[in-house]
Structure 1
Amino acid sequence: AALRDTLAPLIGDPGLGDKVAASVVDTATGEQLYGQGATTPMTPASTIKIATATAALSVLGPDHRIATTAALSPDSRTVTLIGGGDPTLSEAALREMAADTADAVREEDEKSVRLTYDISRYTGPVLHPISPNENIAPVTALMVNEGR
């Protein structure tokens, strides 16, 4: 019931379209724990993300987080927003980071600072080769709201 209550609103999101199916199966027992249109034949979504997630979890562990940070220069005159690639970064989190950074600048008794950003963590194309596609967001080291 808890799994259903958590997943149902997400799967019902209109952004996914009107043909959505999902199935969550306990791999140890084979029992289906959740199903929404699970018996309806459909073309699956990209499955490469499963291999990518498995590799990331194996190497980094489940507690790893991709952080976007702010750094104050040694002379306290420049603040750099350093993109870590966090797709969950939100406007609220940016406001909180800005407030924390402003507090740090005030502690250094600076009247003004230069603001810069660093997006060097990722190289390569920002868009997937099949873009434009409203379901594929640009991927950069510094994005807000999943790049949408």
Structure 2
Amino acid sequence: MRKFLLGAILLSMTGLASAVTVEDLTSTSSWMPATDSVPSCDIPATITFKKNGKLNSEPGCNSLFGDYVIGDNDKLEFVNMGMTRKLCAKQYMDLEASFTDLLNKTKFAKKDGKYLILFDADKKEIGRLEPERSGSCS
């Protein structure tokens, strides 16, 4: 009995994060990098997942598109990816490079509350996304 209770306690302590599903990914119109503050009028990098396995993203300057595949053991793969090749101001290109690098490194994902937690191949957390929010333009 004691081993059972200890196992149940340890299982409950593993966190509320759960395997990501298509419903999780498509539950919001777009995802953006999680921040502690409300974004300014600048448009954040976003990614939108469709129920049919397609995705599109506005990572800063260009448009990113492709497919995603949810696999076993929290696997999340981005495949058949493409991107337009416009040149924009440095700050938008830097934002884009940072966001696309995050997506390129993502190999696993879990849902935890409102957050989509992204992990690299070693299952180390590399970023969090949250539902897109509007900034204030005052």
Superposition TM-score tier, normalisation by shorter sequence? under 0.3
TM-score (norm 1): 0.23
Larger radius of gyration: 1
> Which structure's residues are more often strand, by fraction?
2
TM-score (norm 2): 0.24
> Which structure's residues are more often helix, by fraction?
1
